[in-house]
Structure 1
Amino acid sequence: MARNRDDFDKFQMTSMRDSSIGLLKLLLILIFFVTGVVIGLTSNSHITWYFSLQAEQRYNSYALAPSSSSSSNNSYNTIEKLDCSSIIDDYVHPKTVTHSMSDDELFWRASMVPKKEEYPFTRVPTVAFMFLTKGSLPFIPLWERFFNGHEKLYSIYVHSPPGFDLNVSTTSPFYNRQIPSQIVEWGSVTLVDGERRLLANALLDFSNERFVLLSESCIPIYNFSTVYNYLTGSLHSFVESYDDPSRYGRGRYSRSMRPTIKLSDWRKGSQWFEIHRSIAVAIVSDTKYYDIFRKYCKPSCYPDEHYIPTLLNMLYGSLNSNRTVTYVDWSIGGPHPAMFEKSNVTLGFMRNIRNNGTVCGYNSDESNVCYLFARKFSPDALDSLLGMASTVMNF
Structure 2
Amino acid sequence: MQSKLMALEEGKDPASSVRTNQSRALPSRALQFFLIFLVLGLGVSIVSLYMIRYFKVQIVAPVADSTLKACFEGLTNIESWIRPPSNLLHTMNDTELLWRASSVPRIKTYPFKRVPKIAFMFLTKGQLPMAPLWERFFKGNEDLYSIYVHSLPSYNASFTPSVFYRRQIPSQVAEWGRMSMCDAERRLLANALLDISNEWFVLLSEACIPLHNFSIVYRYISKSRYSFMGSIDEPGPYGRGRYDENMAPEVNLTDWRKGYQWFEVNRELAVKIIEDTTYYPKFKNFCQPACYVDEHYFQTMLSIQTPHLLANRSLTYVDWSRGGAHPATFGKADIKEEFFKKIFESKTCLYNNQPLSLCFLFARKFAPSALDPLLELSSKVLGF
1:389 is aligned to: 378
The answer to whether the aligner puts 1:188 opposite 2:163 as a matched pair is no
Residue number in structure 2 paired with 1:246: 236
Asked if 1 retains the 8 angstrom alpha-carbon contact of 2:224 and 2:351, the reply is no
Structure 1 equivalent of residue 140 of structure 2: 149
Aligned position for 1:78: none
Residue 133 of structure 2 aligns with an amino acid whose one-letter code is L
Q: Tell me, yes or no, if structure 1 residue 175 matches structure 2 residue 165.
A: yes
Q: Which amino acid aligns with 1:89?
A: S
CA contact (8 A) 2:316 2:364 kept: yes
Q: Which runs of 4+ in 1 moved over 4 A?
A: 28-46, 64-67, 81-88, 118-121
1:50 to 40, 43, 56: 40
8 Å contact 2:174–2:180 — kept in the other structure?
Answer: yes
Q: Aligned residue pairs: how many?
A: 365
Q: 1:249-290, CA deviations, whole angstroms, 9 ceiling, x for partnerless residues?
A: 000001111111100000000000000111111111112101
Q: Residues 55 and 168 from structure 1, CA distance in 2 versus in 1: closer, same or farther, beyond 3 angstroms?
A: same
Does residue 124 (structure 1) correspond to residue 124 (structure 2)? The answer is no
Partner amino acid, structure 1, of 2:194: L
TM-score w.r.t. the length of structure 2 is: 0.84
In the TM superposition, residue 352 of structure 1 has moved relative to its aligned partner by: 3.4
Task: Write out aligned runs for 1:60-99 (5 A).
Answer: 61=51, 82=69, 84-85=72-73, 89=80, 92-99=83-90
Which amino acid letter does the alignment assign opposite residue 232 of structure 2? Answer: Y
Summarize the alignment of residues 326-341 of structure 1 with structure 2, pairs less than 5 Å apart.
Answer: 326-341=316-331
Q: Is the 8 A contact 1:92 1:204 kept in 2?
A: no
Cα distance in 1 between the residues matched to 2:135 and 2:80: 26
Question: 1:161-310 counterparts in 2 under 5 A?
Answer: 161-169=152-160, 171-310=161-300
- CA distance in 2: counterparts of 1:251 and 1:182, whole angstroms: 30
**CA offset digits 1:101-135 (Å, max 9, x no partner):** 22222222222223343445432211111111122
Partner of 1:113: 104
- Alpha-carbon RMSD across the aligned residues, in angstroms, is 3.3
* Residue equivalent to 1:73: none
CA distance in 2, matches of 1:191, 1:147: 27
Gaps of 5+ in 2: 1-5, 13-17, 56-67
Amino acid at match of 2:264: E
Aligned equivalent of 1:370, options 359, 368, 374 = 359
CA drift of 1:45 comes to 4.9
Distance in 1 (alpha carbons) for counterparts of 2:253 and 2:231: 14
Identity of matched residues, %: 47
| Contact 1:218-1:376 within 8 A present in 2 as well | yes
- Aligned-partner SS, 2:290: helix
Letter of the 2:333 counterpart: S
Deviations 1:330-372 (A, max 9, x none): 222322112222222112322332344513222x544332211
Deviations 1:186-225 (A, max 9, x none): 2222211111111111112222111110011100011112
Q: Deviations over 1:154-173 (max 9, x none)?
A: 1111111121122322x201
Mapped partners of 1:335, 1:32: distance in 2 = 96
Q: CA deviation at 1:232?
A: 2.3
Q: Which deviates further from its counterpart, 334-343 or 288-297? A: 334-343
SS of the residue corresponding to residue 214 of structure 1 reads strand
User: 1:110–1:65: structure 2 CA closer, same or farther, 3 Å change rule?
Assistant: farther
Separation (CA, whole Å) in 2 of partners of 1:118 and 1:340: 45
Q: Gaps spanning 5+ residues in structure 1: where?
A: 1-14, 23-27, 68-80
TM-aligned CA distance change 1:137 to 1:29, over 3 Å? closer
Maintained 8 Å contact 1:360/1:369: no
Q: What does residue 301 of structure 2 align with?
A: 311
Q: Which amino acid aligns with 2:368?
A: P
